[in-house]
Amino acid sequence: MADATARQQRSDERRRGILDAARARAESDGWSAVTTRHLADAIGYTQPVLYGHFPGGKTEIMRTIALEGFVELAARCRTAVGRTTARRAVEAVAGAYVQFAAEHPAVYEAMFQQPIDARFASEDSATELRQGFAVLAEAVGEHGDGTKTEVFWGALHGIAQLELAGRMNADHRTHRIREIGALFGS
Residue 96 has pLDDT above 90, yes or no: yes
Same domain, 38 and 90: no
CATH number for the domain harbouring residue 65:
1.10.357.10
Domain co-membership, 116 together with 27:
no
Nearest residue to 111 (alpha-carbon basis) of 169, 72, 76, 162: 72
Q: Tell me, what's the pLDDT at 119?
A: 82
CB atoms within 10 A of CB 108: 21
Average pLDDT over all residues of the chain: 94
The residue from 39, 55, 71 where one domain ends is 55
- What pLDDT, on the 0 to 100 scale, is given for residue 45? 87
For residues 105 and 65, membership in a common domain is answered with yes
Assign residue 34 the CATH number of its domain. Answer: 1.10.10.60
Provide CB contacts within 8 A for 10, sequence distance 6+: none
Tens digits of residue pLDDT in 137-176: 999 999 899 999 999 999 999 999 999 999 999 999 999 9
pLDDT digits (tens, 9 = 90+) for 19-28: 999 999 999 9
pLDDT reported for residue 118:
85
* pLDDT tens track for 112-123: 999 888 888 888
Q: Are both 171 and 94 inside the same structural domain?
A: yes
Number of domains in the chain: 2
Is 64 found in the same domain as 16?
no
Q: Does residue 168 share a domain with residue 99? A: yes
Are 63 and 49 in a shared domain? Answer: no
pLDDT at 186 exceeding the cut of 80: no
CA distances from 121 to 21, 111, 118, 126, 179 (A): 30, 14, 10, 10, 26
- Residue 41: which domain range? 1-55
For position 73, what pLDDT does the model report? 97
- Same domain flag for 98 and 44: no
Residue 104 pLDDT:
98
Nearest to 126 by CA among 67, 84, 42: 67
The answer to whether residues 66 and 49 belong to one domain is no
For residue 2, pLDDT over 80 is answered with no
State pTM to two decimals.
Answer: 0.92
Position 117 scores a pLDDT of 84
pLDDT value at residue 166: 95
Picking from 37, 55, 73, the residue at the C-terminal end of a domain is 55
Residue 69's pLDDT band, with cuts at 50, 70 and 90, is very high
The residue out of 18, 33, 55 marking a domain boundary is: 55
